[in-house]
Amino acid sequence: MDRPGVVLVSQYRQRPWMTETGAAMGLCGDKGLKSIMAGAAAGVIEICITYPTEFVKTQLQLDEKGANKYTGSLDCVKKTVQQKGFFGLYRGLSVLLYGSVPKTASRFAVFECLKANSVDSKGQLSGTAKLLCGLGAGVAEGIVAVTPMETIKTKFINDQRSPNPKFKGFFNGVGQIIKTDGIKGIYQGLTATVLKQGSNQAIRFFGLETLKDLYKGDDPKKPVPKLLVGVFGTIAGAASVLGNNPLDVIKTRMQSLEASKYKNTAHCAKMILQNEGPAAFYKGTIPRLSRMWIEGGLTFMVFDTFMELFDKLW
């Protein structure tokens, strides 16, 4: 029976999301679903535009010392087009296209959910919270989609480098990989990939959210123009490339067709350093930077545009 005049106060500090109803609301509710849909759309659009730069980057990173096939990014493009035609630059696109939906969907959904549960009373994220939310988003996408997607993509591109490619399409190639190496064959380089994606998104989301906060100043509800979101995303994307390219090189080597010669991630890094020197950890930086200049701005701009559209629709 209720006792008049008595107010019961929970000993636990209330979170903003605890005022919503339902278990789904406890995570992030409708915003989580919107984030998944907007992230998926952004991923498909981005990868169709930027894939050739990803192809060139991977080719350069697979080019080990003593067997240099290309002298640089332009030479890689020139030789690929001469030997395989223009669409040779899109070899392996289907892999990333299939994987881009779960990758960007999981990234943005996890970030938005973590952000919703980490903001202060003014709706702001601390510097540490920005890094941790981005880290969580990167780790999630690394496990859910990026590791199998990148492993298959790398093996497909690596296969094309041989005189007689053996993969005859996406499903045929995946089938051969699993038949030869088992399921672990598409999960090679998991540690390196999780480290790379975690650090990548930590840097990227930290940069984006910090630049947004600087623009908003004392008004946290001030809207950021979409083109400016694109600029901020581009800057954040470039910073993430320069910050974690060594991890990307290690990940690529761990996922190649010759990955069996490496005992683990640490051994791979040691072998690269011993055989090729420190500069090898920055192979593929230019094409990767070229892609991130586009991807960083485009993905965040498209994501924000779809989120705004979904907010108006429901």
- Examine residue 19 and state whether it is found in any structural domain, yes or no: no
The pLDDT assigned to 12 comes to 42
Confirm whether 206 is domain-assigned: yes
CATH number of the structural domain spanning residue 105: 1.50.40.10
Count how many domains the chain has.
Answer: 1
* Residue length of the chain: 314
Query: Is residue 62 in a domain?
Result: yes
| Cβ atoms within 10 Å, residue 271 | 17
C-alpha–C-alpha distance, residues 112 and 36, integer Å: 10
Contact 88, 80 (CB under 8 A): yes
What pLDDT sits at residue 221? Answer: 85
Which domain, by its residues, includes 60?
A: 28-313
Q: Would you state the pLDDT for residue 66?
A: 58
Q: What is the pLDDT of residue 59?
A: 87
Within a domain: 145: yes
Nearest to 127 by CA among 180, 53, 202: 202
Nearest to 295 by CA among 214, 253, 225, 241: 241
233 occurs within a structural domain: yes
The pLDDT of residue 292 is 77
d(CA 22, CA 135): 27
pLDDT at 114: 94
Cβ–Cβ under 8 Å, residues 145 and 102? yes
Structural domain contains residue 7: no
pLDDT of residue 248: 87
Task: Determine, yes or no, domain membership for 54.
Answer: yes
85 contact partners, CB below 8 Å, separation of at least 6: none
Block means of pLDDT (10 residues each) for the chain, length 314 residues? 50 43 49 88 87 87 74 90 91 80 91 92 90 96 89 82 81 88 85 89 95 91 92 92 89 83 90 93 86 82 92 83
pTM across the whole model: 0.72
